Amino acid sequence: MEILVCVKRVPDPAENEIELNSAGNDIEQDDLVYSVNEWDNYAVEEAIQIVDKVGGSVTVVSVGDEDAEEVVRREMAMGADKGLLLSDDAFENSDGKGIASILKAAVAKGSYDLIFTGALADDGAAQIGGMLAAMLDWPYASLVNVIKADDSKTIKVGREIEGGNQEMNEIDLPCVLSIQTGINEPRYVGIRGIRKVASVEIPQLGAAELGIDPDTVGAKGAKVKRVDYFIPELGEGAEILEGSTDEIVEELVERLKAKGGIK
Amino acid sequence: MSELYIYVTHKDGAPDDSASELIAAARKINPDASVTAIVAGSGDGADTVCQTVAASGATVFKIANEALAYPNAEIVRNMLVNILPSDAIILIPHDTFGMDLGPGLSIKLDAAFVSDVIDFEGLEGTDLKIIRQEFSGQVYTHVLCDISAGAVLNIRPGAFKADENQIAEGQIIDKSGDAGDLTARRRFLEVVEAEAGEVDITAEDVLISVGRGIEDEDNMEIIFDLAKEMGGEVSCSRPIVDAKWLEKARQVGTSGQTVKPKVYLALGISGSFQHLGGLKGAPFVVAVNKNANAPIFQAADVGVVADILDFIPELTEKISELN
């Protein structure tokens, strides 16, 4: 089984509180700590587990600038066999369709049975996997939380649907799957693992190598453009309790008693 | 302007709440537009859904076929590509079905795609101005979407309020003959129902719910200690289940349980719409979070900006003294 996993470098939600800049139109970029999109770690772990079972190899790919190389390398430290970076000034500010078409060009350069993406990332769009599958004209399943793969031409996948239920499907290979968190327990990557792959060369492909017309991607090719970030006037929201910890605790206990929260 | 369509999901002969919300969303894009609702399915149930939706004022395209009895996104996509005009704007609920359908449909229609839309702010030329969120609701964005060649717009459930104004009943037009080839390379097998857990959080009046802010499994103890003192039960948000620190049956949210307690403590929970989607019945909500910008503070009645690891033991101790 040849598996390609698409990963994205994003601001780490565990390390950052996302805030607006002083102009109030973009997020504050200073001191942002980046990491691999959380969903993508589950996708890479799943790919490694499948290859361990049925053979084959795992390739990790990312669309991004030089900085994205660090996340590809981190996923290689998890155990992915190969890395690939798709990088070009023309790719900047691509919309979802642009990113998917860049990935499609990379898929055409290899030979894959399975492609994984994370179910969603920082922008919450949950769109790349479905777009890529449609461009390749491969079948697709989103929000996958179980995969039963052997060496046959079809696999079984479970999708997480509403209410904690699971929708089981049979799907023909090759296919694209978007992977939901919780499907497995991604392995820990230690300093030693990172060192092991520190000098592995990660090939880098641009628009020319991928045969992509620069006008069809990036800001030029985008039908969907983010104009700004903002935080609206949201009304009052919660009454924030203020004071010393003792005062807050005392007040909160009173409120909870009044509402029947303390039995 | 392009014609506006909505995709109606339904179950047991009743349209999902999203149907009337999508009609409201379509009217926000263009108040004068006629809205066509697409109802796909098979049997008497689908007929009943067509009548219900038509009664709410939309024209209904009915596509009846045994292959559409279960909503398989690949089959629905093939059908929509055959049914829709080339520059259509179609609104789809941003739920687990819509996430499966929308992105690929936009490619096959060569239309723009925007997901998880929460509001519209009118047209600028051929661009529709859309509001959505990023970073789990911590910030909002304006997005311009060129709709001149059509668009697929996935709409967040609950974001638009259904329009109560009754309009003249719509027509039902049978388009079943236009659906085309309805075979798929992904075949639906069965739905496996969630396993019942050791606790039933849906029956609890007081829920002490814990999220990512607990940081480490070893810290979970402070949540159980508080729940014991308060006489409530422990529930959680998704990351806690992903980390396997609590069983799935304790998860509140659209992908977990729908709960209706009287009092709900959200401890170290950021408050994504998926989490809040599982919280019903207007409980008294207390949020404790160290991030003052966390969306949970918009949903809460009372908030405390603090690290739960410091604050919760203090709260537990105080309640313990009273007990």
Q: How confident is the model at residue B166 (pLDDT cuts 50, 70, 90)?
A: low
- By the 8 A CB rule, do B114 and B130 touch? yes
- The residue-averaged pLDDT of A226-248 equals 89
Residue B165 predicted with pLDDT over 80: no
DSSP string, B44-104: HHHHHHHHHHHHTT-EEEEEE-GGGSS--HHHHHHHHHHHS-TT-EEEEE-SHHHHHHHHH
Q: What is the DSSP letter of A27?
A: B
Residue with tokens 């206990």: A253
Judge residue A190's burial from the number of C-beta atoms within 10 Å of its C-beta, 0-12 exposed, 13-18 middle, 19 or more buried: exposed
Q: Which of B105, B145, B291 sits opposite A223 (nearest CB)?
A: B145
Q: Domains in chain B and their CATH numbers?
A: 4-178 (3.40.50.620), 201-322 (3.40.50.1220)
- The residue-averaged pLDDT of B255-276 equals 95
Residue B10 predicted with pLDDT over 70: yes
Q: Which of A135, A139, A246 sits opposite B107 (nearest CB)?
A: A135
Q: Tell me if A124 and B315 make a contact (CB, 8 A cut-off).
A: no
Residue to substitute from B75, B78, B110, B113, interface A, most A β-carbons within 10 A: B113
Residue A24 predicted with pLDDT over 90: no
**From CA A115, how far away is CA A177, in angstroms rounded?**
6
B224-254 per-position pLDDT tens digit: 999 999 999 999 999 999 999 999 999 999 9
- The residue-averaged pLDDT of A182-198 equals 93
Residue with tokens 């974001």: B159
Question: Which residues in chain A touch residue B101, judged by CB atoms under 8 angstroms apart?
Answer: 130
Q: How long is chain A?
A: 263
Interface of A with B in 56-115 (CB under 8 A): 96-97, 100
Per-residue pLDDT, A146: 97
Helix residue ranges per DSSP H, chain B: 18-29, 43-55, 73-83, 96-108, 220-230, 238-242, 273-276, 296-299, 308-322
Measured between CA atoms, the residue of chain A closest to residue B305 is A240
Q: Tell me if B186 and A17 make a contact (CB, 8 A cut-off).
A: no
What residue type is assigned to position B252 of the chain?
A: V
Residue to substitute from B11, B107, B293, B307, interface A, most A β-carbons within 10 A: B107
Q: Tell me if B232 and A100 make a contact (CB, 8 A cut-off).
A: no
- By the 8 A CB rule, do A68 and A74 touch? no
Residue with tokens 């369709």: A97
Beta-sheet strand order (sheet of B233-236): A239-240, B302-305, B284-289, B263-267, B206-210, B233-236
**Pairing state of beta strands A224-230 and B139-146?**
antiparallel
Among A124, A202, A158, CA closest to A46: A158
Per-residue pLDDT, A18: 87
**Pairing state of beta strands B263-267 and B14-15?**
unpaired
- The residue-averaged pLDDT of B139-146 equals 96
SS3 for B145?
A: strand
**What is the percentage of chain B residues whose pLDDT exceeds 90?**
89
- By the 8 A CB rule, do B205 and B263 touch? yes
Measured between CA atoms, the residue of chain B closest to residue A181 is B242
Question: Which residues in chain A touch residue B2, judged by CB atoms under 8 angstroms apart?
Answer: none
Q: Tell me if B191 and A262 make a contact (CB, 8 A cut-off).
A: no
Element at B130 (helix H, strand E): strand B127-134
- The residue-averaged pLDDT of A130-147 equals 98
- By the 8 A CB rule, do B26 and B33 touch? yes
**From CA A245, how far away is CA A250, in angstroms rounded?**
8
Question: Which residues in chain A touch residue B158, judged by CB atoms under 8 angstroms apart?
Answer: none
Question: Which residues in chain B touch residue A129, judged by CB atoms under 8 angstroms apart?
Answer: 103
Q: What's the whole-number average pLDDT of chain B?
A: 94
Answer positive or negative: Cα dihedral of B202, B203, B205, B210: negative
Tell me how many residue pairs between chain A and chain B have CB atoms under 8 A apart: 266
**What is the percentage of chain B residues whose pLDDT exceeds 70?**
99
Q: Tell me if A126 and B99 make a contact (CB, 8 A cut-off).
A: yes
Q: Tell me if A143 and B96 make a contact (CB, 8 A cut-off).
A: yes
B18-76 per-position pLDDT tens digit: 999 999 999 999 988 889 999 999 999 999 999 999 998 889 999 999 999 999 999 99
Q: Which of B193, B256, B304 sits opposite A248 (nearest CB)?
A: B304
Residue A210 predicted with pLDDT over 70: yes
Q: Is A244 on the interface with B (CB under 8 A)?
A: no
Widest Cα–Cα separation across chain B? 72
Measured between CA atoms, the residue of chain A closest to residue B240 is A182
Q: Is A33 on the interface with B (CB under 8 A)?
A: no
Task: Return the domain boundaries, chain A.
Answer: 2-221
In sequence order, which residues have a C-beta less than 8 Å from that of residue A224 and are 6 or more positions away? A95, A96, A97, B112, B113, B114, B143, B144, B145, B146
- The residue-averaged pLDDT of B292-317 equals 95
Q: Which of B185, B244, B301 sits opposite A239 (nearest CB)?
A: B301
Question: Which residues in chain B touch residue A130, judged by CB atoms under 8 angstroms apart?
Answer: 99-104, 107
Q: What is the least distance, in Å, from the CA of A203 to any CA of chain B?
A: 29
Per-residue tokens: B146 = 């060129």
Per-residue pLDDT, B197: 83
Q: Which of B149, B258, B305 sits opposite A240 (nearest CB)?
A: B305
**From CA A223, how far away is CA A129, in angstroms rounded?**
18
ipTM of the complex as predicted = 0.94
- Tell me which architecture the domain covering A2-221 has in CATH: 3-Layer(aba) Sandwich (3.40)
SS3 for B230?
A: helix
Q: What is the least distance, in Å, from the CA of B113 to any CA of chain A?
A: 7
Q: Tell me if A229 and B255 make a contact (CB, 8 A cut-off).
A: no
Measured between CA atoms, the residue of chain A closest to residue B150 is A223
| Mean pLDDT lowest among A99-108, A228-237, B239-248 | A228-237
Measured between CA atoms, the residue of chain A closest to residue B289 is A240
Per-residue pLDDT, B33: 84
Backbone angles phi, psi at B17, to 5 degrees: -50, -30
Q: Which of A140, A182, A226 sits opposite B141 (nearest CB)?
A: A226
Residue A115 predicted with pLDDT over 80: yes
Among A236, A246, A65, A174, CA closest to B298: A236
Q: Which of A172, A231, A252 sits opposite B139 (nearest CB)?
A: A231
Residue B1 predicted with pLDDT over 70: no
**Pairing state of beta strands B127-134 and B119-124?**
antiparallel
Q: Tell me if A130 and B102 make a contact (CB, 8 A cut-off).
A: yes
